[in-house]
Amino acid sequence: MSSATLAIRAIRGLSRGDEVDPMNLTKDQTAALVAAARAVQGRAYAPASQFRVGAAVLSEDGQTFVGCNVENASYGLTICAERAAVCAAVAAGVRRVAAVAIVTDLDDPARPCGACRQVLAEFGPSMRVLLAGHGDRVIEQSLADLLPDPFTFDGPLGPA
């Protein structure tokens, strides 16, 4: 069994399908989500940059979905790990995300790009963002801190 599968099972066992409170993730939930992202990071396809990123999203109902970055010779077609994880969640029917863990090999944890911040905001504007680099250090922030005023379908005139 892969380490990603084990990490995902650990998260499911902790949440037991209950609602996940993004403002109060437990230490075990945080560790398991980062472990799932770290496990899938090794599957990244990054022949040009060698910059491998893994991401794991935790839905509000306790499901976990992972994604890794996939580069393309036409750089604009590259898919970020965060968006890959969100797409996996959406394909499974998830519409609300409580947390995301993003893992890189940098010493200082990397932040998600602007496009990923916007996509994450679509599914959980108040989600917790866990950032991990090469070591054990994990930075925890809210998505609202990283993207304080996202574009939404709900504007001053109501839903589009």
Could you tell me whether strands 64-68 and 97-103 are parallel, antiparallel, or unpaired per DSSP bridges? unpaired
- 82 classed as catalytic: yes
**N-terminal to C-terminal alpha carbon distance within the chain:** 45
Query: Which two three-digit tokens encode residue 102?
Result: 């993003």
Query: Where does residue 70 rank: exposed (0-12), middle (13-18), buried (19+ CB within 10 A)?
Result: middle
Q: Which amino acid is at 124?
A: G
DSSP 8-state class, residue 55: E
User: Do the Cβ atoms of 95 and 87 come closer than 8 Å?
Assistant: no
Cross-strand bridge partners of residue 57:
65, 100
Per the DSSP assignment, residues forming a β-bridge with 45 are: 70
Measured distance CA(25)–CA(159) in Å, rounded:
31
| Among 19, 60, 82, 122, the one annotated catalytic | 82
Indicate which residues carry an active-site annotation.
82
